Amino acid sequence: MTAKGYFITGTDTSVGKTHVALALMSAFKAQGKQVTGMKPVSAGGRETKDGLRNDDAELLMRAASVALPYELINPYAFKPAVAPHIAAQLAGINIDIQHIKHCYRQIASNADIVIVEGAGGWLVPVNDHQTMADAAASLNLPVILVVGMRLGCLNHALLSVESIRSKGMVLTGWVANHISPTMEKSKNNIECLKQLIPSPLLGIIPHNSSVTSRQAAMDLDISLLMKTE
């Protein structure tokens, strides 16, 4: 089976990449697709009897249509909640993008859709010479950008878009995720980004910590993804 996937990146850390990834998984599952998630690199894990586990990676696992080993879903898991390359250095490990690619291929052979969630923002380093952007490029997946709606998001979003396109990657869509309940003129900011980002707005997720992934999926129009490919 040939899998199709999307790489989820964000304008920063803690902008809702996991929430959007889960919403996308729910939306594709509602279409009858076999869906799995992947978190290639995680920093901020906890010790369990089975080894280090990351909350975001476990959420992706639980939302999947197919049960796969944790080590495939999250091949690089680190305990400190710091930049991935620093966490790897502290653990004496080198993050190998080829290993990430190998794990992705195994996951992809079991699903129709693979939602791959990056760590941090688009250009966060993963080792001394490569960034998360290089990991995305190695998987050759279209990119979905999660824009954390807060003061400064215009600059962060447009810089991310410019970098994604300069890497030769396809930005297939973006999501406006309201992470600040008090952001002023959020509608104006979204309208500005709609004018300046040459990819469709897939949806606007309101600020509400109680919104489930299934409810958030209703705010996303995944049909727009097909129009950009």
Active site residues: 39
Q: How confident is the model at residue 226 (pLDDT cuts 50, 70, 90)?
A: low
Query: Token digits for 180?
Result: 């600040």
Q: Which CA distances in Å does 104 have to 79, 99, 101, 135?
A: 22, 9, 5, 11
pLDDT confidence of residue 184:
87
Residue 147 has pLDDT above 70, yes or no: yes
Domain that includes residue 92, residue range = 4-226
Total domain count, the chain: 1
CATH number of the domain to which 158 belongs = 3.40.50.300
pLDDT confidence of residue 225:
79
Instruction: Classify burial at 4, counting beta carbons within 10 Å of its beta carbon; exposed 0-12, middle 13-18, buried 19 or more.
Output: middle
Q: What mean pLDDT, rounded, does the chain reach?
A: 91
Question: What mean pLDDT comes out for the span 73-102?
Answer: 96
Q: b/e map of 116-141 (b: 16 or more CB within 10 Å)?
A: bbbbbbbebbbbeebbbbbbbbebeb
Q: Which amino acid is at 85?
A: H
Q: How confident is the model at residue 1 (pLDDT cuts 50, 70, 90)?
A: very low
pLDDT confidence of residue 92:
96
Question: What mean pLDDT comes out for the span 175-202?
Answer: 93
Q: What one-character DSSP code corresponds to residue 125?
A: B
CA 206, distance to chain mean position in Å, is: 18
Give residue-wise pLDDT tens across range 156-177: 999 999 999 999 999 999 999 9
Give residue-wise pLDDT tens across range 40-74: 999 999 999 888 999 999 999 999 999 999 999 99
* Long-range CB contacts for residues 54-58, cutoff 8 Å, separation at least 24: 56/18, 56/117
